[in-house]
């Protein structure tokens, strides 16, 4: 398999503190591969302003500046300070050299510590082989037809419809260890209801599988999935990376190293969505088209209390183009971010959508019953 062709190891160092231009070549399968590389992204100071090009919700792939917007000093430090944009939406870490410590190189297993008290997922590590691969869907493999299909709302889950977007909604329940990789491992909860394995991950970061979509987690999982499906053994780890006390990760560092095969990569997939500005402290988001000037201090959470963060987030996004839901054909005084949070006796046929700015202009308020 051509794993190394897809993930070339970056060999030449650039000047410190800057970024070189990256050119791309279009491959026959539509996957753009960089012909030159950026080794270090200049660290952002707490007050430095930067123009972020959010692109549009209609885009299949985020812009480079949107991807770089999550690389705050804290995130860069956790990644070891050396990252390079791969030209396809994600970043190469530490010259693509994985650094995984496994407890066994023969017996398949998966380990992930419990979610931390600050609601941040911990690093997940696994030894994967053909015995862990799951090719069936959840309902087919669960004993009662339902258990593997159960779900939870992970920290920061404020779902948002994305009209005209190829992804339709902002968030997926993103696995650290994907269902196809560990779904056949006895004793491991690979459902979307495992709080130690599920985070609020953008649809792009979760679903993008290469080509015109760019390289999301699904793309890198696909490399490992193909390897173990064919009988190979792979050491694998996923570390959700958070900025400060944020409850939504800025992205995930994904590492894989084949045993007796050429699977090898160390990458960072930013948790971004084209055309959307996300407050990672709360999970609230707004539609943002084109360029906007932000500071890294705006993008980074501090040690402020959760109640203060939520209040600030509501203020920041109150006049946005975010789509909200209103009952009684729009006559209700309250609006909801997530239609699923509305009372069970709500007549769904009479629920209408509008932007949050329109709702506020009409004198409506965010429902106090929605977390």
Residues involved in catalysis: 175
> Which of 265, 116, 112 has the alpha carbon at shortest distance from 182?
112
Over its C-alpha atoms, the chain yields an Rg (Å, rounded) of 21
For residues 62 and 273, what is the distance between their CA atoms, to the nearest angstrom?
A: 6
**CA distances for 63 relative to 24, 71, 203, 214, 365, angstroms:** 14, 14, 15, 10, 33
The torsion of the CA quartet 94, 95, 101, 105, rounded to 10 degrees, works out to 170
Reported as type and span, the H/E element at residue 64 is helix 64-68
> Which of 12, 34, 15, 38 has the alpha carbon at shortest distance from 24?
34
Structure tokens given for 4:
């190394």
* DSSP single-letter state for residue 44: P
Hey, is 26 helix, strand or coil?
strand
């Amino acid at each position: 398999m051509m794993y190394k062709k897809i993930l070339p190891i970056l060999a030449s160092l650039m000047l410190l503190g800057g970024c070189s231009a990256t050119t791309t070549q279009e491959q026959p399968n539509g996957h753009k591969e960089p012909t030159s590389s950026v080794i270090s992204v200049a660290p952002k100071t707490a007050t430095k302003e930067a123009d972020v090009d959010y692109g549009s919700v209609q885009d299949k792939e985020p812009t480079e500046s949107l991807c770089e917007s999550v690389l705050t000093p804290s995130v860069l430090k956790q990644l070891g300070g050396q990252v390079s944009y791969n030209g396809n939406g994600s970043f190469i870490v530490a010259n693509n050299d994985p650094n995984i410590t496994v407890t066994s190189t023969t017996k398949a297993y998966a380990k992930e510590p419990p979610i931390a008290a600050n609601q941040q997922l911990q690093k997940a590590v696994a030894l994967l082989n053909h015995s862990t691969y799951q090719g069936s869907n959840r309902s087919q493999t669960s004993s009662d037809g339902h258990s593997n299909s159960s779900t939870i709302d992970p920290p920061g889950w404020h779902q948002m419809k994305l009209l005209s977007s190829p992804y339709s909604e902002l968030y997926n329940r993103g696995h650290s260890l994907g269902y196809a990789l560990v779904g056949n491992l006895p004793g491991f909860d690979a459902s979307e209801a495992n709080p130690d394995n599920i985070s609020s991950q953008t649809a792009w970061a979760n679903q993008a599988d290469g080509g015109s979509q760019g390289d999301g987690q699904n793309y890198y999982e696909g490399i490992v999935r193909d390897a173990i499906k064919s009988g190979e053994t792979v050491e694998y780890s996923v570390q959700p990376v958070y900025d400060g006390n944020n409850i939504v990760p800025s992205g995930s560092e994904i590492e894989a190293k084949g045993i007796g095969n050429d699977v090898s990569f160390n990458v960072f997939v930013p948790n971004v969505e084209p055309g959307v500005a996300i407050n990672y402290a709360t999970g609230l988001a707004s539609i943002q088209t084109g360029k906007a000037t932000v500071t890294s201090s705006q993008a980074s959470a501090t040690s402020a209390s959760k109640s203060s963060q939520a209040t600030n987030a509501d203020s920041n996004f109150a006049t946005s183009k975010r789509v909200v839901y209103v009952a009684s054909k729009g006559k209700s005084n309250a609006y909801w971010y997530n239609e699923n949070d509305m009372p069970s006796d709500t007549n769904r046929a009479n629920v209408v959508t509008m932007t949050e700015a329109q709702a506020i202009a009409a004198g409506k308020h965010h429902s106090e019953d929605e977390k």
